[in-house]
Amino acid sequence: MTQEKNGEGPALESPQDFTYVDDGFERLWTPHRMVYINGERPTDHAGDGCPFCAVIGRADGEGLIVHRGQSCYVVMNLFPYNPGHVLICPYRHVSLYVDLTDEETLEFGILTKASIAALEASSSPMGYNIGINQGAVAGAGVRAHLHQHVVPRWSGDSNFLPIIAQTKALPMLLEDVRQRLVQAWPPE
């Protein structure tokens, strides 16, 4: 409970007024992530609830789309592990890699290579993590719509923050990184 202090407005609450056990952890409060946590969950059907289906109808800048192909597209990850973390997605709402047509599979691979080329030209990573998580038990956050992660890596990008504080410091805004990738995208 706060009290007025000499008519200057509410006084700050003392932490001594609460039950407190020092566990050695600092807390970085990120209430903005509740939008993601409490957001609509993807369904098994295309349309409402699937962020990868929803983004297709938006302008590239608004949807953070880096490149649109014939059957697949590249989009920035809203919750990146590193600056430049992109996702390759088919337009078609499928959940498994084996459900892609041969044409989609080919473009999926071509866009993976083009993403790496654009990342090389725009930010010179020292390595990459490339992978697909299929199913909830494999770590897929959006399990109903196939997507592949391309995460650029640099020496020292996993400093003490993610290891001891489960916090990631990202030095660039998503739109700034998207613009760099669009400008560095290889010609077709």
State the pairing for strand pair 72-76/86-90: antiparallel
What's the token pair of residue 169? Answer: 């410091």
Known catalytic membership, residue 67: no
Nearest to 51 by CA among 23, 15, 29, 77: 77
Q: How far is CA 27 from CA 1, 22, 23, 95, 188, in A?
A: 22, 12, 11, 36, 46
Residue-by-residue DSSP string for 118-174: HHHHHH--SEEEEEE--SGGGT-SS-SS--EEEEEE-TT-S-HHHHHH------S-H
Range 29-36, long-range pairs (CB < 8 A, 24+ positions) = 36/78, 36/79
> Does residue 86 contact residue 74 with C-beta atoms inside 8 Å?
yes
Q: How many CA atoms lie within 13 A of 127 on its CB side?
A: 7
Q: Kindly name the residue from 67, 85, 145, 147 that is annotated as catalytic.
A: 147
Residue 69, number of CB atoms within 10 A of its CB = 17
Catalytic site positions? 147
